[in-house]
Amino acid sequence: NFQGENVPPPFMTFEATGFPPEILQEIHAAGFLNPTPIQAQTWPVALQNRDIVAIAKTGSGKTLGYLIPAFIHLRRYQNNPMLGPTVLVLAPTRELASQIQDEAVKFGRSSRVSCTVSSDLFFYMNSHA
């Protein structure tokens, strides 16, 4: 259940997201047909630069639920990577941080994302655009 004011309707298809064609191509190439429920609900909120707290089971699509809006943010603002991280992802274990990095690399190619996993259990992303 979503709480808050002016909660936008979920994206029921990838095409409804308005994601750039390159990102949609990466999603379709991975074999995904439609957003998962957590993605459908969180993407419209995240794309409005609003905060989200989402809880869902392992394998439900949470990682792409926040990574793809992060890619959109990186593409939109084209921050200078020399100024430091643009997106910071915290993870409770190094293994999970590495798994998140793998997904960021896999789905962030078209956004020209670079990722670094720190020994402090987080990684950050920048765009080379």
Domain coverage including residue 98: 15-127
- Residues 86-95 have pLDDT tens digits of 788 888 888 8
The answer as to whether 101 is a domain residue is yes
Q: Can you give the pLDDT at residue 21? A: 93
**How many domains, the chain?**
1
The answer as to whether 68 is a domain residue is yes
The answer as to whether 43 is a domain residue is yes
Alpha carbon distance 100, 12 (integer Å)? 24
The answer as to whether 30 is a domain residue is yes
Integer angstrom CA distances of residue 100 from 18, 48, 93: 23, 23, 11
Instruction: For residue 71, give the nearest of 35, 33, 38, 103 by alpha carbon.
Output: 103
pTM of the full predicted structure? 0.82
The answer as to whether 84 is a domain residue is yes
Q: Can you give the pLDDT at residue 109? A: 82
Q: Can you give the pLDDT at residue 115? A: 78
The answer as to whether 5 is a domain residue is no
Q: How confident is the model at residue 43 (pLDDT cuts 50, 70, 90)?
A: very high
CATH number at residue 112: 3.40.50.300
* Whether the Cβ atoms of residue 128 and residue 112 lie closer than 8 Å to each other: yes
- 86's enclosing H/E stretch is none
- Residue 21 buriedness (CB in 10 A; 0-12 / 13-18 / 19+): exposed
The answer as to whether 8 is a domain residue is no
The answer as to whether 87 is a domain residue is yes
What average pLDDT does range 14-35 have in this prediction? 93
